[in-house]
């Protein structure tokens, strides 16, 4: 029985094509990497569990990707995808379920089979933590945002709230205060967890009000756009009139497949060197899933390009 199994596996392996590089995830990081890898003559396979484009395809308007002012997120990603299709990149729509990180050969499993490569690049992204309150899904992209850098400019001269008490919430509030009329920071605890220097900065801003012991109960709207939030503040119910709500309660990296296999930093983001290589030689990571200071389309794309430079260096090319 064992012999039959191993003979079958050996036969199957003969049919397995060995790729130079397998990219997991077809968002901005993965697609940019695919483009760079193919242009460097690498034999590359990109595996995507949904449709290529990543998180951006759900973004109504992107206004900070240079060269494409006020473009719909799905349209921007279509340009990425058309560009990649001009190169000999093999794209398969399969969800990766497991990876085996051998010293020289990396094996990637999907529900359809397994693939082998000399190197892998993990670009599975991250997702913002939702508030989990009624009204949030209804007004997502219509006043409810998870990215101050992305959407702040749409709220110029308006009143908004940032929900959260950590560094991201403090940074988002300071960023929004530059353009918004009034920014409320809604903090669940009686104190903020953000760095003392950030809190000092916030307190100096005249249009920022920090509300402690405040929990959002529901996002309210007029049917098309957010117009307030119901909160409980120090035990009392209140309604706060607003034009927008920015959730900044955390971001969760999609690191499941590499959990325990490569080194991670705080909050589980993958640690890489300057070539985007993880703690395992031949295993690279790029985009929102890695530890970094700014998670945007442009930085994800840049990581993807750098990672391919790292792969070429790893291959000694």
Ligand X SMILES: Cc1cc2nc3c(=O)[nH]c(=O)nc-3n(C[C@H](O)[C@H](O)[C@H](O)COP(=O)(O)OP(=O)(O)OC[C@H]3O[C@@H](n4cnc5c(N)ncnc54)[C@H](O)[C@@H]3O)c2cc1C
Binding residues for ligand X, rule: CB under 6 A, are: 24-30, 47-50, 54-56, 59, 62, 64-65, 95-96, 123-125, 128, 146-147, 150, 254, 257, 287-288, 295-298, 300
CB of 158 to ligand X, least distance (A): 17
CB nearer to ligand X: give 65 or 284: 65
Least distance to ligand X, CB of residue 29, Å: 3
CB of 202 or CB of 246, closer to ligand X: 246
Nearest CA to 214 among 233, 190, 241?
233
Residue number, 37 or 300, with CB nearest to ligand X: 300
Alpha-carbon span 30 to 82, nearest angstrom: 14
Q: Which is nearer to ligand X, 8 or 60 (CB)?
A: 60
The packing angle between helices 73-85 and 28-39, to 10°, is 20
Measured in residues, the chain has a length of: 317
Radius of gyration of the chain (CA): 22
Both tokens assigned to 29: 């990081």
Nearest distance from residue 237's CB to ligand X, in Å?
Answer: 29
d(CA 145, CA 147): 6
Residues 6 or more apart in contact with residue 214 via CB below 8 angstroms = 186, 187, 188, 231, 232, 233, 234
CB of 165 to ligand X, least distance (A): 20
β-strand partners of 229: 219, 240
* Alpha-carbon distances of 95 from 82, 112, 300, rounded to whole Å: 22, 9, 20
Closest distance to ligand X from the beta carbon of 52 (Å) = 7
Residues annotated as part of the active site: 147, 150-151
């Amino acid at each position: 029985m064992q012999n039959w199994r191993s003979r079958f596996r050996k036969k199957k392996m003969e049919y397995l094509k060995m790729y130079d590089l397998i990219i997991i995830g077809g968002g901005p990081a993965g697609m940019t990497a695919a483009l760079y890898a193919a242009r460097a003559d690498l034999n590359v396979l990109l595996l995507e569990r949904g449709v290529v484009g990543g998180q951006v395809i759900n973004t109504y308007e992107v206004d900070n990707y240079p060269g494409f002012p006020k473009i719909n997120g799905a349209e921007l990603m279509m340009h990425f995808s058309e560009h990649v299709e001009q190169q000999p990149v093999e794209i398969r729509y399969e969800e990766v379920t497991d990876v085996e990180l051998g010293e020289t050969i990396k094996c990637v499993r999907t529900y359809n089979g397994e693939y082998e490569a000399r190197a892998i690049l993990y670009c599975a992204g991250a997702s913002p933590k939702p508030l989990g309150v009624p009204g949030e899904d209804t007004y997502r992209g219509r006043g409810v945002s998870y990215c101050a850098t992305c959407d702040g400019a749409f709220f110029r001269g308006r009143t908004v709230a940032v929900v959260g008490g950590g560094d991201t919430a403090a940074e988002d509030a300071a960023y929004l205060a530059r353009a918004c009329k009034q920014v409320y920071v809604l903090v669940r605890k009686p104190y903020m967890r953000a760095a003392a220097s950030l809190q000092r900065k916030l307190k100096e801003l005249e249009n920022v009000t920090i509300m402690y012991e405040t929990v959002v109960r529901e996002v309210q709207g007029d049917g098309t756009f957010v117009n307030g939030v119901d909160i409980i503040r120090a035990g009392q119910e209140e309604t706060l009139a607003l034009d927008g709500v920015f959730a900044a309660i955390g971001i969760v990296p999609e690191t499941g497949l590499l959990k325990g296999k490569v080194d991670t930093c705080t909050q589980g983001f993958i640690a890489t060197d300057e070539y985007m290589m993880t703690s395992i030689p031949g295993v690279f990571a790029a985009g929102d899933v890695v530890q970094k200071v700014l998670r945007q389309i442009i930085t994800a794309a840049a990581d993807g390009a750098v990672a391919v430079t790292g792969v070429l260096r790893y291959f000694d090319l």
